[in-house]
Amino acid sequence: MEIERIYQEYLKTVYNYLNCLCEDELLAEDLAQETFYIASKKINGFRNECKIEVWLCQIAKNLWYKELKKLKKATIISMDAEVGEIGEIKSDFDLEEEFIEKDERTKLYTEIEKLRSPIKELVYLELTTRLTFKDIAQILGKSESWTRVTFYRWKRKMEEMNQKEEQ
């Protein structure tokens, strides 16, 4: 396999996954680069037992765990809003919509942060990557049915919470 093509095709997936795990864009970039460095060294050992993006995310996850051990710190979800381009003028309606979206995103990430580890990782992977439940199950070392059912139950719980808030 050509590592340059793999890099171009899967960098965004690996970066998004790492960014959700470590919540630090620079660290996610560094770990993504290291992921592809390790992948380039071990590409001949890749046996096609899983999709290449699953293999890459497994490498990335292992690097993140090593980094956690080094840093010995817990992860915190960044609630930074996306910044518009310089000179961009937003109407009051845009600002109101942005505030509402940020508030909803904050509530969502707060609820995700309360989850225990494998479920939290499942939610991040489902929301931030284009991986299938089968691929996510391989990364987490769980069954595909566990990933589907667990995500569905979490999603229903979030919907019920939103309905209660609206009432």
pTM of the model as a whole: 0.53
Q: Domains of the chain (ranges plus CATH)?
A: 3-71 (1.10.1740), 92-166 (1.10.10)
Count CB neighbours of 27 within 10 A. 16
- Reference 60, options 24, 91, 22; nearest CA is 22
pLDDT tens per residue, range 136-152 = 999 889 999 999 999 99
pLDDT tens per residue, range 57-115 = 889 988 888 887 776 533 333 333 344 444 444 444 455 566 556 667 777 778 888 88
Q: In the numeric block, which tokens belong to residue 90?
A: 């937003």
